[in-house]
C-alpha cells in the first residue's frame, strides 16, 4: 500500500483511538459521579478519573522517547478539560433571591412549621362590595416563584373586592430554602394550615392551581388543616397520592407542545455542569441532595427556557403562536431538586381517598379543555370528594387557564367568584361523576 494511503489511515486510526479514550474517560467520570453522589462538587470523581488516566498514560509511554511519552497524555488532557467543566460552578453557590417586584410589597412570614415564606397581599379594591373572607392563592410548581401572569390575575380578583393573599411555598421564589429532606407534600399542607392560621381572620377561601391544587386537595383530606378552610377551588390539579400518580394517563384536547416556537433565552441545561446534574437527578442516579450541585446553586442556575416544552403544553394548540410571556427573567425562580423531592413524596404516599371521602368543605373543580394534566388526576378527585359542589369545564384554554389571552382571565374570574359567593355557576356543572366515563371515552 503506498505511503500516501498508509499515513492517512494511521492518522485516522490514532484519532479514533484517542476519541475512544476520551469517551471512555468521560464515561468513567460520570460513573464515578454517580458512585460518589457528586462529592466535593464532582472533584472527587474528577481527581480519581484523571489520576488513574495519568498513571495509565505514563505506563503506555514508558518505553518511548520523551516526546513520544507525551502522546498518550493528549486524550487525557482533553478528557480532563471536558470533565472539569462539570465541576466548576458558573453561578453563585449561595442563594440569590429575585429582586423586589415594583407593583407589590414582599413580606416575609415565619410560620409555626419553621418555614419562612414570601407573602404578597392585594387588599380589596374596586367599587363593588368588599368580601370579608380572605382568599389565599396556592401557585403551581411546586417550589416555583409566583409568575407575573399570576400576579396580574390576583390583582383582578382584588379589584372585585377580594382580600387576596399569596405566598411562595418554602424554597420557591423569595421564600427561604429548607434542608432537602424537609421538603414533602405533608410539609406543604402543614404550611398552608399554618399560613391561614397566621392570617388570624378565621377561615379562608383557597384557590389552588396545578401543584397548588394538589396541596389543597390533600388539605381537604386533613381535618386539622381543613378546619381553616371555608371554600376550596381546585384548578387543574396534579396527582393527589401514589395510586393516582400511577393511573393510566389520558390528557385533554391537543396542547401546543411540539408545535409552539422554542423558548428563547439562556438555558442552564446547555452548561455541562447543570446538564449533568439535572439530568442525573431526573433519572434518579443522583440523590436530590447531591454534592455535585447544591440546592441554592441549582435554583440560581435554572432558567425559564429550561422548562422547554412544558410551557407550551399549558396552552391550546390553537394558541401555539401567541403564547404570552408568563414571567420576567428577574422574577422567575424554580427549584428543580426540591420540586422532584415533593413529587416523589406524593408518588410514595398511600391513598388519601378514604380521608378525602370525609371532607365537608365546599369545593369546586376546574378543568381545562386542552389540559396537559392527566384527566384521571382530576376525575379521581371528583370521584372521592363528596363536597365538590360543581365542576367547571373551561373551553378554549389549556392548563394555564388565566393567561391574558382574549377573555380567558375574565371567564376564569367569573367562575371562581361565582362559587366563592355561592352564586349560580356561569357554566354547566360538567363533568359530573355520571359524565366521567363518556368524558374519558370521548377524550374531552
Residue range of the domain that includes 152? 107-262+308-441
Examine the fold and report which residue of 35, 69, 84 is the final residue of a domain before the chain moves on.
84
How far apart CA 399 and CA 238 sit, in angstroms, is 11
Over residues 134-155, the pLDDT tens digits come to: 999 999 988 999 999 999 999 9
| Residues 68, 111 share a domain | no
Q: Whole-prediction pTM value?
A: 0.92
Q: Which three cell numbers stand for residue 31?
A: 460513573
How many domains are contained in the chain?
A: 2
Over residues 23-81, the pLDDT tens digits come to: 988 999 999 999 999 999 999 999 999 998 888 877 776 666 555 566 677 888 888 89
Query: What is the DSSP track for 129-142?
Result: PPEEEEEEEE-SSS
User: What would the 3-class secondary structure string for 243-305 be?
Assistant: HHHCCCCCCCCCECCCCCCCCCCCCHHHCHHHHHHHHHHHCCCCCCCCCCCCHHHHHHHCCHH
Q: Which residues contact 114 (CB under 8 A, 6 or more apart)?
A: 178, 182
| Residues 398, 339 share a domain | yes
Examine the fold and report which residue of 69, 84, 99 is the final residue of a domain before the chain moves on.
84
Query: What is the DSSP track for 6-40?
Result: HHHHHHHHHHHHHHHHHHHHHHHHHHHHHHHTTGG
Over residues 271-330, the pLDDT tens digits come to: 999 999 999 999 999 999 999 999 999 999 999 999 878 899 999 999 999 999 999 999
| Residues 175, 29 share a domain | no
Q: Apex CA 137: angle with CA 228 and CA 313, to 5°? A: 135
| Residues 316, 428 share a domain | yes
Kindly give the residue spans of alpha helices, DSSP state H, lying in 322-404: 336-347, 353-356, 375-384
Q: Quick check: is 289 in a domain?
A: no
Q: Quick check: is 290 in a domain?
A: no
How far apart CA 43 and CA 413 sit, in angstroms, is 52
Q: Quick check: is 275 in a domain?
A: no
Q: Which three cell numbers stand for residue 444?
A: 374531552
Question: Mean of the per-residue pLDDT values for the chain?
Answer: 92
Share of the chain above pLDDT 90, in %: 79
| Residues 114, 235 share a domain | yes
Q: How far apart are the first and last CA of the chain?
A: 70
Q: What is the pLDDT of residue 338?
A: 96
Q: Which uninterrupted H or E stretch holds 4?
A: helix 3-36
At 234 the three-state DSSP class reads: strand
| Residues 11, 148 share a domain | no
Q: Quick check: is 166 in a domain?
A: yes
| Residues 354, 249 share a domain | yes
| Residues 224, 323 share a domain | yes
| Residues 417, 382 share a domain | yes
Q: What is the pLDDT of residue 236?
A: 97
| Residues 75, 116 share a domain | no
CATH number, domain of 393, equals 3.40.50.1820
Q: Apex CA 236: angle with CA 233 and CA 241, to 5°? A: 95
| Residues 434, 403 share a domain | yes
| Residues 323, 252 share a domain | yes
Q: Quick check: is 239 in a domain?
A: yes
Over residues 160-185, the pLDDT tens digits come to: 999 999 999 999 999 999 999 999 99
Q: Quick check: is 269 in a domain?
A: no
Q: Quick check: is 244 in a domain?
A: yes
Q: Quick check: is 291 in a domain?
A: no
Amino acid at each position: 500500500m503506498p505511503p500516501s494511503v498508509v499515513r492517512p489511515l494511521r492518522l485516522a486510526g490514532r484519532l479514533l483511538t484517542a476519541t475512544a479514550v476520551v469517551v471512555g474517560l468521560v464515561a468513567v467520570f460520570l460513573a464515578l459521579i454517580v458512585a460518589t453522589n457528586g462529592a466535593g462538587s464532582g472533584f472527587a470523581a474528577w481527581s480519581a478519573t484523571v489520576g488513574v488516566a495519568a498513571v495509565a498514560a505514563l505506563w503506555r509511554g514508558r518505553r518511548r522517547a520523551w516526546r513520544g511519552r507525551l502522546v498518550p497524555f493528549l486524550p487525557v488532557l482533553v478528557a480532563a478539560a471536558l470533565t472539569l467543566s462539570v465541576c466548576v460552578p458558573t453561578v453563585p453557590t449561595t442563594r440569590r433571591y429575585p429582586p423586589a417586584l415594583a407593583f407589590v410589597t414582599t413580606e416575609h412570614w415565619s410560620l409555626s412549621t419553621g418555614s419562612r415564606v414570601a407573602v404578597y397581599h392585594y387588599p380589596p379594591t374596586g367599587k363593588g362590595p368588599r368580601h370579608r373572607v380572605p382568599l389565599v392563592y396556592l401557585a403551581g410548581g411546586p417550589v416555583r416563584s409566583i409568575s407575573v401572569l399570576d400576579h396580574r390575575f390576583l390583582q383582578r380578583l382584588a379589584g372585585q373586592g377580594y382580600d387576596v393573599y399569596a405566598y411562595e411555598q418554602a424554597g420557591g421564589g423569595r421564600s427561604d430554602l429548607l434542608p432537602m429532606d424537609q421538603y414533602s407534600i405533608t410539609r406543604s399542607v402543614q404550611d398552608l394550615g399554618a399560613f391561614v392560621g397566621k392570617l388570624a381572620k378565621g377561615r379562608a377561601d383557597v384557590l389552588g392551581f396545578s401543584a397548588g391544587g394538589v396541596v389543597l386537595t390533600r388539605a381537604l383530606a386533613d381535618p386539622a388543616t381543613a378546619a381553616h378552610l371555608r371554600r376550596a377551588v381546585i384548578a387543574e390539579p396534579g396527582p393527589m397520592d401514589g395510586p393516582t400518580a400511577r393511573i393510566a394517563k389520558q390528557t385533554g384536547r391537543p396542547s401546543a407542545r411540539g408545535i409552539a416556537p422554542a423558548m428563547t433565552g439562556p438555558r442552564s441545561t446547555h452548561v455541562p455542569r447543570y446538564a449533568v446534574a439535572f439530568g442525573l437527578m431526573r433519572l434518579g442516579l443522583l440523590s436530590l441532595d447531591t454534592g455535585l450541585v447544591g440546592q441554592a446553586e441549582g435554583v440560581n442556575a435554572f432558567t425559564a427556557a429550561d422548562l422547554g416544552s412544558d410551557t407550551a403544553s399549558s396552552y391550546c394548540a390553537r394558541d401555539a403562536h401567541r403564547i404570552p410571556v408568563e414571567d420576567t427573567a428577574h422574577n422567575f425562580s424554580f427549584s428543580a431538586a426540591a420540586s422532584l423531592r415533593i413529587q416523589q413524596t406524593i408518588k410514595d404516599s398511600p391513598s388519601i381517598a378514604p380521608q378525602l371521602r370525609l371532607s365537608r368543605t365546599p369545593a369546586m373543580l376546574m378543568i381545562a379543555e386542552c389540559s396537559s394534566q392527566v384527566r384521571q388526576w382530576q376525575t379521581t378527585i371528583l370521584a372521592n370528594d363528596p363536597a365538590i359542589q360543581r365542576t367547571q369545564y373551561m373551553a378554549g384554554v389549556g392548563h394555564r387557564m388565566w393567561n391574558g389571552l382574549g377573555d380567558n382571565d375574565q371567564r376564569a374570574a367569573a367562575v371562581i367568584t361565582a362559587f366563592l359567593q355561592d352564586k349560580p355557576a356561569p357554566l354547566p356543572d360538567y363533568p359530573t361523576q355520571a359524565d366521567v366515563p363518556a368524558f374519558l371515552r370521548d377524550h374531552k
